Structure 1
Amino acid sequence: MAATGTPVLFVHGMFLHAASWASWVELFRTAGYAPLNPGWPGEPNTVAEARQEPDRVAGIGIDDIVSHYAQIAGTLGTRPVIIGHSTGGLVAQRLLDQDLAVAAVALQPPPIKGVANRAPSSIPVGWPLLRNPANRRRALSPTTRQFRYSHGNALTTTESDTLYRQWVIPSPGRPVFELVSANLSRRSPATIDAANAARGPLLVLAGGRDHSAPAAVVRATVKRYRASSAVTDYQEFPDRGHSMPIDSGWREIADATLVWMRRHLR
Structure 2
Amino acid sequence: MRNVPIVLLHGTNAAPWTMEPFRRFFQEQGFDCHTPTYRHHDLPDGPERTAALTGVSISDYVEDIAGFLATLDKPPIVIGHSLGGLIAQLLNGRGLIAAGVLINSSIINGAVPTTEMERALGKMFMSAGTFWEMVPGQDFDLLATYGLNTMPSAQQHEICDRLQTESGQVLFELFFWMYDIHQATKVDFEQARAPLLFLSGSEDKVVPPTTARSMADRYGAQATFLQFGGRCHYMQLEEAWEEIAGASLEWIDSLPRL
Amino acid at match of 2:228: F
Per the alignment, residue 183 of structure 2 pairs with: 188
Per the alignment, residue 174 of structure 1 pairs with: 169
TM-score (structure 2 length as normaliser): 0.90
Query: Residues 93 and 103 from structure 1, CA distance in 2 versus in 1: closer, same or farther, beyond 3 angstroms?
Result: same
For 1:139 and 1:156, locate their aligned partners in 2 and report how far apart those are by CA, in whole Å: 28
Query: Residues 19 and 66 from structure 1, CA distance in 2 versus in 1: closer, same or farther, beyond 3 angstroms?
Result: same
For 2:202 and 2:169, locate their aligned partners in 1 and report how far apart those are by CA, in whole Å: 27
Amino acid at match of 1:177: F
1:239 aligns with 2:237: no
Per the alignment, residue 202 of structure 1 pairs with: 196
Deviates more, 1:109-118 or 1:27-36: 109-118
Per the alignment, residue 109 of structure 1 pairs with: 105
In the alignment, structure 1 segments of 5+ residues that lack a partner are none
For 2:256 and 2:5, locate their aligned partners in 1 and report how far apart those are by CA, in whole Å: 12
Deviates more, 1:187-196 or 1:215-224: 187-196
Amino acid at match of 1:244: M
Per the alignment, residue 159 of structure 2 pairs with: 163
Match of 1:18 among 16, 37, 60: 16
Deviates more, 1:143-152 or 1:77-86: 143-152
Alignment of 1:57-206 (within 5 A): 57-127=53-123, 129-165=125-161, 167-185=162-180, 187-194=182-189, 196=191, 199-206=193-200
Aligned residue pair count: 255
Per the alignment, residue 260 of structure 1 pairs with: 251
TM-score (structure 1 length as normaliser): 0.88
| Contact persistence 2:62–2:91 (CA under 8 A) | yes
Instruction: Tell me by how many angstroms 1:91 deviates.
Output: 0.3
In the alignment, structure 2 segments of 5+ residues that lack a partner are none
| Contact persistence 1:115–1:220 (CA under 8 A) | yes
Instruction: Tell me by how many angstroms 1:175 deviates.
Output: 1.8
Query: Residues 185 and 141 from structure 1, CA distance in 2 versus in 1: closer, same or farther, beyond 3 angstroms?
Result: closer
C-alpha distance after superposition, 1:34-87 (max 9, x if no partner):
11111111111xxxx533453132322111111110010011121111111111
C-alpha distance after superposition, 1:122-161 (max 9, x if no partner):
2454555442343212222112222211211111222211
Amino acid at match of 1:212: V
For 2:23 and 2:116, locate their aligned partners in 1 and report how far apart those are by CA, in whole Å: 34
| Contact persistence 1:82–1:101 (CA under 8 A) | yes
| Contact persistence 2:93–2:190 (CA under 8 A) | no
| Contact persistence 2:38–2:64 (CA under 8 A) | yes
C-alpha distance after superposition, 1:81-101 (max 9, x if no partner):
111111111100111121110
For 2:146 and 2:207, locate their aligned partners in 1 and report how far apart those are by CA, in whole Å: 9
Instruction: Tell me by how many angstroms 1:186 deviates.
Output: 5.9
Match of 2:37 among 20, 39, 59: 39
Deviates more, 1:59-68 or 1:116-125: 116-125
Query: Residues 183 and 143 from structure 1, CA distance in 2 versus in 1: closer, same or farther, beyond 3 angstroms?
Result: closer
